[in-house]
Structure 1
Amino acid sequence: MIPVLAPLLLISVIGRPQTPSAEVASQGNASDWVSSSSLSWRELGPSTFGGRIVDIALHPQDSSHLLIASASGGLWRTRNSGTTWECIFENEGTISIGDIAWDVHDEDVIWVGTGEANNQRSSYWGDGIYKTTDGGKSWQHMGLEHSQHIGRIVIHPTQSEVVYVAALGRLYGANEERGLYKTRDGGATWSRVLDTGPTVGVVDVVIDPFDANMIYAASYERLRRPWNFDGNGPGSAIHKSSDGGLTWKRLTGGLPEGDIGRIGLAAFADQEGLIFATVSNQNKIEVAPKQDPTVSLETRFAKGVLRVVRAPKDGGAAELGLKAKDELLSLGGNVLDQRWSWVVGLSVLEPDEEADLVLRRNDEEVTLVVTRRGLDKTIDAEPVMRDVGGGVYCSEDHGETWTKRSSEPVGGNPAYYYGQIRVDPHDQTRLYLAGVPLYWSEDGGHSWKRNRASGVHVDHHALEVDPHDSRRLWLGNDGGLHLSHDRGETWYHFDNLPLAQFYALGLDDQQPYRVYGGTQDNGTWGGPSISRDSRGIGSEEWSSVGGGDGFYAQIEPGNPDIVYGESQFGWIYRRDRGAWKSQGIQPKAPDGEKYRFNWNSPILLSRHNPQILWFGGNRLFRSLDRGDHWSLITDDLTSQDPKKIEGNVPHCTITTIAESPFSPDLLMVGTDDGLVQLTQDGGHSWTNLTGRLSGLPQGWWITRVVLSEHEKERVYVTASGYREDDLRPLVWRSEDLGQTWKRLDEGLPQAPINVLREDPVREETLYVGTELGVQASLDGGASWAVLGDDLPTIAVHDLAVQAQARELVLATHGRGFWVLDIAALGDWNSEIASAPAHLFAPKDVVRWQRRSLAKTSGHSAWYGKNSERGVILQVHLLADLEEGAAKLEIQDSKGKRIARLTVPNTRGLHRIHWVGVRSRRGSGLAVGDYSAVLTHGDTVQRRSFRVLPDPLER
């Protein structure tokens, strides 16, 4: 049996109010109710860090006017060099973007190719090409719906109706709609001018600056599976057409062939025939083995300190003077304050470049001079095979012959994630290569430096050189958008773009509650659900609790300073925010055994005892002391498929864990290879339920298992076929602990399900997060509707209900956190729906003390939205009424009327704000007890509520 502690008292949390208005929504049935415009989402952010930027387009005449394309957060425009931004592409069929193109002859014409081209685990598919002719006010779908991922769009330099599109095709399967497409009529019709076959797409295309009939296209062969990624093949090549795409030839003169990966192209406009290419050559060569710095020096990051665990005597690290127990403080002036800082710091050094390594040894600071080559010491062993690596090639005769410019491997690693090369429009010797890190050359690619953006981020995907001033560089990476005015010597980061790509979230029980979540390559962050700052939630109110790629976050009930987080492949830690200490707590495998962990491994704190932590690998782990010690309570709970385990992506792992609120011994898990298992005795014995789930395809990724809040034997399962090239939604419910199942996915859109939650108040209300948004059901899954009407078309990876605040919180992958007041949904029933008029019980509110938390920032700051100011009163009318037929007033604790409020007379759900009583001292809410009274005909409804003081006043 699992030890259980007494339940902790949770403090009620109330959102802060805003502008007075009445919002109306039609109400004819449950679907209308769920999609009501009165159910309005508020965006929390953060904008402190960004999200992956995949393309940048500068206005041809005005470089202060630019567009940026987010991998999964839409298209954004600024007219003032980034001081302010507006999203102009967020409600279309998908807002994952691969590439954009701006018509140089008409700034109102913009093309968007949907579906990211970077082949990542979280690269979302698209539904073809969109075009606007009014600067983004409206969009028209222009076809190529099944292309899924777009690598490049280029517009003919003199004939704007002629456009080329590089279509990569599906990432997880073969399909016909891929290759290079051309339209001659502005997108009304398309023809495939370069057919690369069902497994090879086109990733890049360039029009020759001197002859618009001369086209260069880069084909790319790649296939991702849940357990493996093949990012190369003989289908990857450069092709050329001299007649506008009618005929093609494959270019071979001097270019490598065989196992070739991603290729990027760039043309120089001031020299005819000059073309550059970055080529990922994954053919194998035999080399003398070297010790990677991460091997010759084993480190551990714990309690905020990066400490040397082992420096082998025959390794380069030991020869340079490093010893076990050394605490590494900084490298080259950069503080080593994260688990990966050491590796990142080394990666930006040239092989023989010296850097000061400052460390603490026996309470004294010591400085060593290190080089990357010194740490990469050649060891005495048999030769090993490795990839040739990335190379930069140049042609000066329109691609007929090529020479390799780079002597050492350069470019992104893994190459599938990068592949962009840029040339200064005024100097063909100055080249830039996006990757890890940002490479740059000043001699045409013969030699390369790699420290041009070392203090910015490590994963770079987009770069544009200002044609009017080539010192100005716009850089897009996993950390958002950056600008340099001095060719990369220094950089400015834009912290006003809310593009965070969250994988998961956790909520604490403070007042106001805080929201935590792990992000793609920006670590794990937490911030408040509302702010005392009247402007909203500022970027300075968010704080980092962990690095790497962040995923699950769990907060200890009753002790919100204790946060559990995770980075990729199961590296979990416990952070004490009060003491500002972090401790790595990943279970260690015994000698002779190797654990497997998913990219996004699940962590779960027990609701019965906050000292107990569950963690999933290929087996289920349990800790009774906050992760200090672990016990294995299961054998391998996956299929252990040898083929999948041998792939180059860790697989056959647990992806979701559930614990019953009724019993700590009732647990469920789901796996990435399609298994669902349940135990009723704390993990001693397990029942495999997979075969009982009718309609579950073999091997599909189980995204969530849920044990009901309301009925002990009620369970839910969701599965995703995205990684099996199938976008169907799948949801099941069982009322007998998995013995029998019922499908609940009829009526859901064609989008995989990532998460399902029950409403904690009303058991028939369900919420699901899909790859295209949020759906809700008021009838236990019999029917579904879009929840609210103002959420972008965004992938929702996680959602949770903050029960005391009656709010639903979303973790989106591309637009940060969003929050919705769901009090009315929790109270809804058929009697309310059929009543002529109904007043919902208002939530108690806190009279927050207003104060400014940030320095003056002009117009550039972005703020997350606070909840509305005042008390929120929700009234539902069954039908249109005569004006004044429904009356609403506020009474004080003695029953005295202190305010009359107007109730709109149209049918539907109305959201009415009361911001307090106006007096000589101004208007505002006084602390105390109140009642809202709705009168309609002979019916009088009275609802009580309280205005509470700010906790700082108590």
Structure 2
Amino acid sequence: MKYPLALLLLSCTFYISAHFGSLNQPELEYIETPGYENDFFERAKLEFEKTMDPALGEVPIDIREKERAFVATLPTRQSLAMWSTQTADTLLHLPTTWENTGIEKTGGRTRSLAMDVGNENILLAGAVGGGVWRTTNSGTSWVKTTANSELHSVSSIAQDKRMGKRDVWYYGTGEYYSPAGYPTYNWDIGEGMYKSVNGGKSWVKLSATSVQRTDTARSPFHFIHNIATDPTRNDSDIVYAACVGAIMRSNDGGASWKVALGSLNTKTSVWSDVTVASNGAIYATLSTGNYMGIYRSVNGVTWTNITPSGITAIQRARVAYAPSNPNTVWVYVSGNSGITVWKYKYISGNGSASGGEWSNRSSAISSKLSVFGTYCMQLTVSPDNEDKVLIGGTDSYYTTDGFSTSSNVTHVGGYSEAYKQTGQWDPVDPNAFLFNGHHPDEHGAVFLPSNPKVVYSCNDGGVFRTDDITQGVNTQWQSINSNYVVAQFYSVGIDPVGNHDNILIAGAQDNNASAGMAGSGKPLQWILGGDGMICDVAADASAFYPSSQNANVYRVQLDANFDVTNYTCVRPNGISPTFTNPLRLDPTNDSILYLLDGYRGIWVNSNLYGIPMVKGKNSIATNWEMIPLQSLWSNTQLTAFDVSRSSKRRIYIATRGGKIARIDYPIITAENPRSIKAMTQINVPSTAYALCVTVDPFDEDNVFVVFSNYGVKSIFNSTNGGETWKSVSGNLEEKPDGSGYGPSVRCFEILHYKGQTLYIAGTSSGVFTTNKIDGDNTIWTFEPSIGNVNINMIRARSTDGFVAIASHGLGVFSGYAIPYEPSNTSVNDNTVSTNVLLHPLYPNPCYNNAQVHFTLAKESSVRLSVFDELGKRVLELPQQAYSSGEHTVPLDVHALPVGNYILQCENGRTRLTKKMSIVR
């Protein structure tokens, strides 16, 4: 990939100038690494195109908070049924519990990691799309503590380290700059800071950090790069947040904030960092802008610029103090002269001039480091020695003498030594370019205080541990990502004709394509390196088709353990691909593969089985034909397609701007000549991005097209083969014209099962379903069991109701849709059931306590839950086995606010409900 760098930088510079003032940032240089992380800008460009509001020319900067607030007003399936005569289970619906599957030895992109100062077994990790996770056993197992309804974009975590305050934690949101974004792309924008007072087990949003838009001004809390607390002050709860433009300071535990350093006006620094040493001294960095520099303060109010003369420009700078000597500080800079590393020693006074001593330690390390501009920069000092430092970019390096000599700087993580030296790698063995169980792109690290040889590391692969960081190139790492499922999947594929086989293939950002079986207790296993992209599976799982960036498609055969037994590249010669290039096997003949081609047309391979399995890595021409579409339109980007199950093999292709092509008989025969036709254009803005096309598997004339941009109507339907179109977005739009804060719709699927139909939409805020398409009156209901996470692809199977959902931050969800059958039916406000009878609640209305009465015909398990009016489960009693007969269970509702609720009694697949009220 070679994206035109000058054009993109011009776009970035224009946007930053408009929103932050002129930064006078030097031009960035990005080094490309073959095969793994070399599509930095392509990914950013694509995500911007998919989500920007055409009316604004940008992604709305306050979209995440406003979107979540809007989605909270939408009904769930349960809430819609509870307040109507129709029950939640009388129509085909998704399951309420899911198998959640991740990747072998991999978690996912993790920006932050912190250890509890009072208990070394407790760590908190923050994933950029997967929320905060907590372990109490040093990573053997993890629990997600970010609620499903909360924003899952986590950038920073910090603990209040004072005695008596150690249950207080903070996490910041928003990832400013990453392989998932660039300055004109605000998808990973945050919505402020969250606080926990119970050791990170649950979180509450700090209202003072809400990110309300004011004209075009950006709140500093849109992106919180780092958080630090003051361990020395007991008169105040002081918290610092390193934000875009400034270091923010709170004197009251986050209840209110002031600018401590920097500016929120013009010439704003986009990167910042902050740390508070154990002696109370505060050190901060600000990137290029009016306040660029390295600063020191003793009170967080007045600051001294202590920047050495050798630092003239800062793209990003990390700062860390030495726990063994808090007067020693390390600074790691990405600037216009490349990467530099500095050691600072405080001597006296305010620390400037002769009051501080700077030493440039760059010569031993800078040539080894690659940081993708500013993306991956990690700096941590060992607790036992100020000159033992772990530093990371794409790779990790460890020094024992403060970078004084290059011989004492050793490569300890990231890419493998062999890969760094040769650039060669086996496409189906991603481990070949990983360093001894580690993973590239370093973001954070923690030394174990009781044994500083032990290090925990977080990076784009998740969380890892080594028991001896001093072993240099022989350092061995252990993945501690068991059930830490935060992978960012672009796609998922399932066996199209399977029957309860649960086989999955999925492609993940930065983490390869993987395959496996959901529900087996095992994660997916890597089968193709690079950025895992669109994938598919042949009937009966006879072959797998993973792809990496830019349409690098392989045909792979796996054994029963999902180990690769043979493979070959099937990418066509001459393709002009996009980054996440759409592909699809023919749904009725898996020897046929379709592959979209940029601005030109679609490739069709008429016989994949005719391509020899020779472990080839190069593009081929065998059995490929490109069907050009330039005769329909010129200079039009083709973005999505789908194929019908009919004998015509009808293909619908959608473009940016809503143009539609229809191809019948793409494989020409004497009886069936090919037909190519431009259909009616959908009425959307010219830059609207068609991200998904879905053809009804039972009706080739019934087709849906999804547009993912904010500010645009999202879902359109044609029932006559593309002759006419109507919007079916319904209540997913805040306003009738598609403007407002409705979610970005990313994918769409149709499930026909046992004579019933379910329409499933994946969005930037989770999954929505409906059983009835009714134009703009369509009512979509939210599926809270998956939560507020970006959904990139959904696949469903009519043979058994199997559904697989690829999330961009919480792995793959899979389960079996539940059809309406008499044995499945619950009764609204209870009349009768074959095994359980739910009696009236007493008292009702209730104050703080009530009693639930039910009768069982036979011994079985019962789970009791309370839902609010939005269908959110707000109280749950653990499932428990009861004997046959009558039972009375106390229900404590003192923690619930006054209002109307639904009590649900769940017995097997039967769910009975009663309305209840709380008054005080």
TM-score range, shorter chain: 0.5 to 0.7
Q: Whole-Å Cα distance in 2 between the matches of residues 730 and 637 of structure 1?
A: 28
TM-superposed CA distance for 1:47, in Å, is 5.2
For normalisation by structure 1, the TM-score amounts to: 0.65
Matched residue SS, 2:145:
strand
Aligned to 1:45: 101
Aligned to 2:558: 577
Seen in structure 2, the aligned counterparts of structure 1 residues 156 and 664 have a Cα distance that, compared at 3 Å, is: farther
Aligned to 2:490: 503
Matched residue SS, 1:409:
helix
Q: How does 1:553-564 map to 2 (within 5 A)?
A: 553-558=535-540, 560-564=541-545
Seen in structure 2, the aligned counterparts of structure 1 residues 902 and 551 have a Cα distance that, compared at 3 Å, is: closer
TM-superposed CA distance for 1:463, in Å, is 0.9
- Deviation string, structure 1 residues 379-426 (Cα, Å, up to 9, x no partner): xxxxxxxxx532223333547675532224243341332022112122
- Which of residues 257, 260, 271 is equivalent to 1:190? 257
Aligned to 2:360: 404
Matched residue SS, 2:825:
strand
- Which of residues 640, 658, 666 is equivalent to 1:682? 666
Q: Does structure 1 retain, via aligned residues, the 8 Å contact 2:528–2:547? A: yes
Seen in structure 2, the aligned counterparts of structure 1 residues 411 and 264 have a Cα distance that, compared at 3 Å, is: farther
Aligned to 2:717: 733
Seen in structure 2, the aligned counterparts of structure 1 residues 904 and 421 have a Cα distance that, compared at 3 Å, is: closer
Q: Whole-Å Cα distance in 2 between the matches of residues 256 and 675 of structure 1?
A: 52
Matched residue SS, 1:609:
coil
Q: Does structure 2 retain, via aligned residues, the 8 Å contact 1:75–1:90? A: no
Q: Whole-Å Cα distance in 2 between the matches of residues 819 and 672 of structure 1?
A: 31
TM-superposed CA distance for 1:164, in Å, is 1.5
* Corresponding position: 1:522 with 2:511: yes
Q: Aligned AA for 1:261?
A: Q
Q: Does structure 2 retain, via aligned residues, the 8 Å contact 1:876–1:907? A: no
For normalisation by structure 2, the TM-score amounts to: 0.67
Aligned to 2:478: 492
Aligned to 1:392: 341
- Deviation string, structure 1 residues 735-782 (Cα, Å, up to 9, x no partner): 334443322334227321111111224676311111221111222163
Q: Does structure 1 retain, via aligned residues, the 8 Å contact 2:229–2:276? A: no
Seen in structure 2, the aligned counterparts of structure 1 residues 392 and 110 have a Cα distance that, compared at 3 Å, is: same
Q: Does structure 1 retain, via aligned residues, the 8 Å contact 2:92–2:771? A: no
Q: Does structure 1 retain, via aligned residues, the 8 Å contact 2:108–2:462? A: yes
- Deviation string, structure 1 residues 892-929 (Cα, Å, up to 9, x no partner): xxxxxx999899999999xxx9x9xx9xxxxxxxxxxx
TM-superposed CA distance for 1:24, in Å, is 9.3
Q: Does structure 2 retain, via aligned residues, the 8 Å contact 1:507–1:515? A: yes
Q: Aligned AA for 1:280?
A: S
* Corresponding position: 1:125 with 2:189: yes
TM-superposed CA distance for 1:207, in Å, is 3.6
- Deviation string, structure 1 residues 502-544 (Cα, Å, up to 9, x no partner): 210100134423111111222222222344xxxxx234xx433
Seen in structure 2, the aligned counterparts of structure 1 residues 773 and 255 have a Cα distance that, compared at 3 Å, is: farther
Higher relative contact order, chain-length normalized (CA < 8 Å, sep 6+): 1
TM-superposed CA distance for 1:498, in Å, is 2.4
* Corresponding position: 1:69 with 2:126: yes
Seen in structure 2, the aligned counterparts of structure 1 residues 744 and 181 have a Cα distance that, compared at 3 Å, is: farther
Q: Does structure 2 retain, via aligned residues, the 8 Å contact 1:391–1:411? A: no
- Which of residues 411, 430, 435 is equivalent to 1:450? 411
* Corresponding position: 1:432 with 2:417: no
- Which of residues 279, 282, 293 is equivalent to 1:238? 293
Q: Does structure 1 retain, via aligned residues, the 8 Å contact 2:294–2:306? A: yes
Q: Does structure 2 retain, via aligned residues, the 8 Å contact 1:733–1:743? A: yes
TM-superposed CA distance for 1:452, in Å, is 4.1
TM-superposed CA distance for 1:470, in Å, is 1.2
Aligned to 2:584: 604
Seen in structure 2, the aligned counterparts of structure 1 residues 681 and 85 have a Cα distance that, compared at 3 Å, is: closer
Seen in structure 2, the aligned counterparts of structure 1 residues 272 and 161 have a Cα distance that, compared at 3 Å, is: closer
Q: Whole-Å Cα distance in 2 between the matches of residues 427 and 475 of structure 1?
A: 19
Seen in structure 2, the aligned counterparts of structure 1 residues 899 and 104 have a Cα distance that, compared at 3 Å, is: closer
Matched residue SS, 1:580:
strand
Q: Does structure 2 retain, via aligned residues, the 8 Å contact 1:420–1:433? A: yes
Q: Does structure 1 retain, via aligned residues, the 8 Å contact 2:95–2:818? A: no
Matched residue SS, 1:712:
strand
* Corresponding position: 1:276 with 2:330: yes
Q: Does structure 1 retain, via aligned residues, the 8 Å contact 2:730–2:780? A: no
- Deviation string, structure 1 residues 59-106 (Cα, Å, up to 9, x no partner): 113211211112222212122222332221132421121011111122
Q: Does structure 1 retain, via aligned residues, the 8 Å contact 2:247–2:259? A: yes
* Corresponding position: 1:706 with 2:694: yes
Matched residue SS, 2:824:
strand
- Which of residues 637, 642, 653 is equivalent to 1:658? 642
Seen in structure 2, the aligned counterparts of structure 1 residues 466 and 198 have a Cα distance that, compared at 3 Å, is: farther
Q: Does structure 2 retain, via aligned residues, the 8 Å contact 1:93–1:127? A: no
Seen in structure 2, the aligned counterparts of structure 1 residues 763 and 672 have a Cα distance that, compared at 3 Å, is: farther
Q: Does structure 1 retain, via aligned residues, the 8 Å contact 2:124–2:200? A: no
Q: Does structure 2 retain, via aligned residues, the 8 Å contact 1:132–1:139? A: yes
Seen in structure 2, the aligned counterparts of structure 1 residues 794 and 280 have a Cα distance that, compared at 3 Å, is: same
Aligned to 1:357: none
Q: Aligned AA for 1:588?
A: N
How many matched pairs? 685
Q: Aligned AA for 2:826?
A: H
TM-superposed CA distance for 1:583, in Å, is 0.3
* Corresponding position: 1:879 with 2:822: no
Structure 1: runs of 5+ lacking an equivalent: 1-22, 169-177, 221-233, 284-387, 532-536, 590-594, 642-651, 828-839, 842-872, 889-897, 919-931, 937-954
Q: Whole-Å Cα distance in 1 between the matches of residues 702 and 133 of structure 2?
A: 44
Aligned to 1:323: none
Seen in structure 2, the aligned counterparts of structure 1 residues 416 and 760 have a Cα distance that, compared at 3 Å, is: farther
Q: How does 1:92-241 map to 2 (within 5 A)?
A: 92-105=149-162, 106-121=165-180, 124-143=188-207, 144-146=209-211, 147-159=221-233, 161-168=237-244, 179-193=246-260, 194-197=262-265, 200=268, 202-209=270-277, 212=280, 214-219=282-287, 237-240=292-295
Q: Does structure 1 retain, via aligned residues, the 8 Å contact 2:170–2:195? A: yes
TM-superposed CA distance for 1:658, in Å, is 0.8
Q: CA RMSD in A?
A: 4.1
- Deviation string, structure 1 residues 576-619 (Cα, Å, up to 9, x no partner): 22581110121222xxxxx5322211110112422111112313
Q: Whole-Å Cα distance in 2 between the matches of residues 754 and 204 of structure 1?
A: 33
Q: Whole-Å Cα distance in 2 between the matches of residues 711 and 517 of structure 1?
A: 27
Q: Does structure 2 retain, via aligned residues, the 8 Å contact 1:24–1:37? A: no
- Which of residues 386, 402, 414 is equivalent to 2:372? 414
